[in-house]
């Protein structure tokens, strides 16, 4: 079984507005960019972030992806 090696990098983390209780106001979402080694670590780091950008489009589920794909 092959394992994926990760290195610290920028990760974009997006969450639905419903997750933070804003679904009655908007069905959009929020995003932040964090530095972490893995996608799971990125979620952990993002959970402590105080800097979130409001998005102008619908986010229906949690999304974590590299800021700059290789």
Instruction: Please give the residue that has the higher pLDDT: either 2 or 11.
Output: 11
Largest CA distance in the chain: 46
Q: How far is CA 29 from CA 11, 23, 47, 62, 63, in A?
A: 16, 9, 15, 10, 11
Which residues, in sequence order, are CB contacts of 21 under 8 Å at separation 6+?
A: none
pLDDT at 1 over 70: no
Joined together, the tokens standing for residue 50 give 């105080």
- Give tens-digit pLDDT for 13-70: 999 988 877 666 677 899 999 999 999 999 999 999 999 999 999 999 999 999 998 7
pTM: 0.84
């Amino acid at each position: 079984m092959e394992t994926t090696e990760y290195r610290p990098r920028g990760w974009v983390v997006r969450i639905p507005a419903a997750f933070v209780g804003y679904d009655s106001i908007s069905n959009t979402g929020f995003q932040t960019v964090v530095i972490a080694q893995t996608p799971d670590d990125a979620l952990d780091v993002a959970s402590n972030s105080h800097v979130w950008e409001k998005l102008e489009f619908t986010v229906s589920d949690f999304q974590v992806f590299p800021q700059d794909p290789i």
